[in-house]
Structure 1
Amino acid sequence: MAFNHQIKGIASRWWRGTPLLDDSSAWFDCALHQVVDAGDHALMIGRIEGFACRRPPGWATLYRGAYFTPLSQC
């Protein structure tokens, strides 16, 4: 499904046909690698083909009640 219009009022740019929001802290571009049947669900596993992040000083992520830095350098 192609996304061919600008998001109104939100700064964005394009990467390989995908809109990226300028103020996002990170983005991943994935291609479908595998679909696994999980009963009445399907689990889709992606292959990361592009990634970038912005890391301001002191940036950390809260996950399950603890802070961590996902990558030492982006």
Structure 2
Amino acid sequence: MADTTSAGKTITVEQIGSPLRRPNDQRQTLIGLGLNKMHRRTTLEDTPSVRGMIAKVSHLVRVVDGV
């Protein structure tokens, strides 16, 4: 099994919207991304599944940089 984390790209995401009054699946997606409070940032591995999660809550998050 190859280790892709050392050579893999990362992406930093910041939460800019509140999960209040949002459907539960959007709240759970934010938690899955490691976000739960406003203006928190998290760095994740840039994979198709993470990109899909970001697309699902694109109105609540902002991509800060993709290294």
> Structure 1 length as normaliser, TM-score?
0.26
Which of the two has higher C-alpha Rg? 1
Higher share in helix: 2
Which protein has greater RCO, CA pairs closer than 8 Å, 6+ apart? Answer: 2
> Structure 2 length as normaliser, TM-score?
0.27
Higher share in strand: 1
